[in-house]
Chain A
Amino acid sequence: MQDNVAIKVSNASKLFKLPHERHTSIKSAVLNFYKRKKTYELQKALKGINLEIKKGEFFGIVGRNGSGKSTLLKLLAEIYSPDTGAIQINGKLTPFIELGVGFNPELTGRENVYLNGALLGFSQKEMEAMYQDIVDFAEIERFMDQKLKNYSSGMQVRLAFSIAIRAQSDILLIDEVLAVGDAAFQRKCFSYFEELKKNKKTVVIVSHDMNAIERFCTRAALISKGNLDFVGSPEQVSKLYKKQNASDIKLSDNTDTIDTGAKITKLSILGSQKNEFTLKEIICLEFNITTEKPIKVAPGINITRDDGQFIVGLTCHAQVKPKITEAGINTVFTISFPARQFIRGTYSVDGVVYDSTDPQPVFYKPSMASFTITEDEQSWGVFNLDCEWKRKD
């Protein structure tokens, strides 16, 4: 392995046997052996991963639940051993992947500090030297002689964190540390990350928090279904991850489709090839609607942001006069609106068709189209206020 490489994963895969009925008794093991029946399913958690992480990199691993990212982290931490392939580590690795592992609720805070320190490889003496710093950093001085089970979860996390950051390792593996703790704790985490970065430590972090990934990582990887989909800049990975999430929402929502009498055969976005828009552009949607019986067709849309935030729903009732459309006839509707009304992000459009003023739609299909706003105007929230700032001099 080259000298500047911290972690090298070559063709690593991991299989899990998922028993249908976990045979934790010898009887069932014997019976199953006798019957020669497979009572487990093989789950390929990781399929031939190749990855090289250089020294000093802040590397993010991103993926949806069950994609295999935590399995990969456990392989790196040598908690699991790979079924095929190999993992080479160059440098001292932290043994932790989560905060507060090994905490014992029946021991006092003080005793837990020593126990946890030992897990990090610090002797009693070394822990004594840094004990006060740890307690001060966690801000729980007067609780140290109480049992850990009487601590609030916030206190436990603070204590765990202030021990964990003492680790003298070259390579740190961090799993979802940002998922716990309040805003103040996250700030502490962030400044710790900054310090790690400054000290050129190699860090591998698993997180769902794309902001953190984009902010700290120098490189990132996207994992889905046990495959390494993409390795590249954190921005690209974050974008892909969001896209993946959005498309999965589409799939899962498909069951809600309503289809009684009319149909949007095509809902297309005009004016842009890749459905990407800058703030100055106009977004135009075109509906192709066919009916099975004569009704007064009135289309509508719902717009949802990729994180699930509902933005707006509207119909054409106010602007288009109702008119009966005969069966089998194709009608085209368009709607257009300026892109600057949206915050940067990806949005999906549900197609809806009403029969004139009947509040129940005759047709509904989620996520028929989607568009992306690529710029932002330094605003945040749900929509971009169409406004005008002036200074009166």
Chain B
Amino acid sequence: MQKRYRYAMILLKQLVITDFKLRYQGSVLGYAWSLLRPLLLFVILYLVFVKGLKIGGSIPNFPIYLLLGIVMWNFFSEMTSQSLSSIVSRGDLIRKIRIPRWIIVLSSSISALINLGLNLLVVLVFMLITHVDFMKTGIFFPIILLEIYIFALGVSLFLAAAFVKYRDVEYIWEVITQAFFYLTPIIYPLSVITDQTLQKILLLNPMAQAMQDARSILVTKETITMAEVYGTANARLISLAIVVTFFLVGLVYFKRKAKYFAENI
């Protein structure tokens, strides 16, 4: 058992290194793109939504508020879309070598985590530049990250296994991700929506809940969180239940299908 674990860890490390080496191959700026990309995307969204459409005027530190949301969302969408094709694109390994299949999904999730780390650095730099007050509640941020990681991992496992058999999943997921980009309060503050029932429904999305909580503990207290809308801090348990359900369903589905990856790819 311990040997298997050691093998998995060695392999995981090399796969992540390979992923990282290959990602920006042939580009002049190389790894710098990991930082440049979110930065430039942020500049565009900032110009469009803050300067152009003047959304979020009443919220303090809205640019950081916006940036944090984008970074968290990018992590989720990047991790799920990369993991989705991870099993199929590593078909050569799966058909010829006996390796733990979950390692492959895990390695692309870790690549996404590394990117998240770099992006959060950008957020930190902006927080320093714009003199956002650091709040003590910020120490809970890692818990929120853990929550969205587990949520994304469950979704990723499910998608990666389903994609082996049904290649439509890729396109369907693209559409779903796009839809949720707008259904999650990323580029608009939740206060734009006045109907409280609608707010309640939108916050059932763990990404929305996590994002609002992260903003409220890091950027500004003037964020509508799940606890506020539902009137009780226990509301987060609903979110937690959803995350755990997604994770377990993804894991069980993946485990059931993993035996047949080699012959189905």
User: In whole angstroms, how far apart are the Cα atoms of A51 and B91 in the complex?
Assistant: 29
Closest chain B CB from A325 CB (angstroms): 61
Q: Which residues on the B side are within 8 Å of A81 (C-beta)? A: 259-260
Closest chain A CB from B195 CB (angstroms): 34
A78 CB–B CB distance under 8 Å: yes
Q: Which residues on the A side are within 8 Å of B167 (C-beta)? A: 24-25
Cβ of B18 and Cβ of A111 under 8 Å apart? yes
Given contacts A24-B165, A25-B168, A114-B14, contact A95 B98 (CB under 8 A): yes
Cβ of B21 and Cβ of A107 under 8 Å apart? yes
Q: Which residues on the A side are within 8 Å of B168 (C-beta)? A: 24-27
Secondary structure class of chain A's binding surface, majority of residues? loop
Cβ of B10 and Cβ of A93 under 8 Å apart? no
Secondary structure class of chain B's binding surface, majority of residues? helix
Binds B, one of A119-127, A129-137, A244-252, A298-306: A119-127
Given contacts A96-B97, A111-B21, contact A26 B14 (CB under 8 A): no
Query: Could you mark each residue 236-255 of chain A with 1 if its beta carbon is under 8 Å from any beta carbon of chain B, else 0?
Result: 00000000000000000000
Cβ of B165 and Cβ of A95 under 8 Å apart? no
User: In whole angstroms, how far apart are the Cα atoms of A121 and B17 in the complex?
Assistant: 16
A115 CB–B CB distance under 8 Å: yes
A40 CB–B CB distance under 8 Å: no
Q: Which residues on the A side are within 8 Å of B169 (C-beta)? A: 26
Binds B, one of A97-105, A216-224, A364-372: A97-105
Cβ of B97 and Cβ of A104 under 8 Å apart? no
Nearest A residue to B6, CB-CB:
A121
Q: Which residues on the B side are within 8 Å of A118 (C-beta)? A: 10-11, 13-15
Cβ of A16 and Cβ of B97 under 8 Å apart? no
Q: Among residues 135 to 156 in chain A, which have CB atoms less than 8 Å away from a CB atom of chain B?
A: none
Given contacts A26-B168, A111-B18, A119-B97, contact A106 B25 (CB under 8 A): yes
Closest chain A CB from B3 CB (angstroms): 8
User: In whole angstroms, how far apart are the Cα atoms of A106 and B167 in the complex?
Assistant: 26
User: In whole angstroms, how far apart are the Cα atoms of A71 and B172 in the complex?
Assistant: 34
A74 CB–B CB distance under 8 Å: yes
Cβ of A124 and Cβ of B13 under 8 Å apart? yes
User: In whole angstroms, how far apart are the Cα atoms of A121 and B11 in the complex?
Assistant: 7
Q: Which residues on the B side are within 8 Å of A310 (C-beta)? A: none
Closest chain B CB from A334 CB (angstroms): 56
User: In whole angstroms, how far apart are the Cα atoms of A199 and B18 in the complex?
Assistant: 34
User: In whole angstroms, how far apart are the Cα atoms of A29 and B25 in the complex?
Assistant: 38
User: In whole angstroms, how far apart are the Cα atoms of A74 and B260 in the complex?
Assistant: 12
* Interface range, A side: 20 to 34
Cβ of B22 and Cβ of A107 under 8 Å apart? yes
Nearest A residue to B262, CB-CB:
A79
User: In whole angstroms, how far apart are the Cα atoms of A129 and B21 in the complex?
Assistant: 23
Given contacts A29-B166, A107-B22, contact A79 B95 (CB under 8 A): yes
User: In whole angstroms, how far apart are the Cα atoms of A74 and B6 in the complex?
Assistant: 23
Query: Could you mark each residue 160-196 of chain B with 1 if its beta carbon is under 8 Å from any beta carbon of chain A, else 0?
Result: 0000011111001000000000000000000000000
User: In whole angstroms, how far apart are the Cα atoms of A96 and B93 in the complex?
Assistant: 10
Given contacts A79-B262, A95-B97, A101-B93, contact A26 B166 (CB under 8 A): yes
A383 CB–B CB distance under 8 Å: no
User: In whole angstroms, how far apart are the Cα atoms of A111 and B19 in the complex?
Assistant: 12
Query: Could you mark each residue 220-237 of chain A with 1 if its beta carbon is under 8 Å from any beta carbon of chain B, else 0?
Result: 000000000000000000
A-B contact pairs, 27 of them (CB 8 A): A24-B168, A25-B166, A25-B167, A27-B168, A77-B97, A77-B98, A79-B94, A79-B95, A80-B263, A81-B259, A93-B98, A95-B97, A95-B98, A96-B96, A97-B97, A101-B93, A101-B97, A102-B92, A107-B22, A111-B18, A111-B21, A114-B14, A115-B14, A118-B10, A119-B11, A121-B7, A124-B14
- Chain A interface residues toward B at CB < 8 A: 16, 24-27, 29, 74, 77-81, 93, 95-98, 101-102, 104, 106-107, 111, 114-115, 117-119, 121-124
What are the 7 closest A-B residue pairs judged by CB atoms, nearest first? Answer: A118-B14, A101-B96, A24-B167, A81-B259, A78-B98, A26-B168, A121-B7
